[in-house]
Amino acid sequence: MKLTKTTVNRLTAGLLTGAVNGLFGGGGGMVAVPLLKNMLGYDEKRSHATAILIIAPICAASAIVYIINGYFSAEVVIPAAVGSVIGGLLGALALGKLPVLLVNITFIAVMLAAGLRLLF
């Protein structure tokens, strides 16, 4: 693989996304979307869709480490996983139908709510 500026940017975006997701157990998508949009020049919907595809294997890798280290509770994980799969399918379908402005506003609102929740 030739190390062009684009390749370096992609690797950097992946490293940052993976580090955030691994460190905090989530949140990689919150980092991936702006990186894909601003660093790599993807349009809004493509950034969100690509972030989902990036996060899936990152979550799987992080989950393996968490399971190995004993940070796992089946009574929490199984229902949450089922809900997440259903929500993910519904969200992916909605992304294709919603206007870009609404997607942006919703994403910003979720990021702000998550940040405020962490503060208080």
Residue 68 carries which side chain, given as an amino acid letter? I
What is the H or E stretch that residue 31 is in? helix 28-34
User: Residue 61 is part of which domain span?
Assistant: 5-119
pLDDT per position as a tens digit, 77-86: 889 989 989 9
Strands annotated E in 13-113: none
pTM, two decimal places: 0.72
Virtual torsion, Cα 97, 43, 50, 69, nearest 10 deg: -110
Structurally, the chain folds into a number of domains equal to 1
**Are 32 and 42 a contacting pair, CB within 8 Å?**
no
Q: Tens digits of per-residue pLDDT, 16-59?
A: 988 887 788 777 888 889 999 998 999 989 998 898 888 888 87
Whether the pLDDT of residue 1 is over 70: the answer is: no
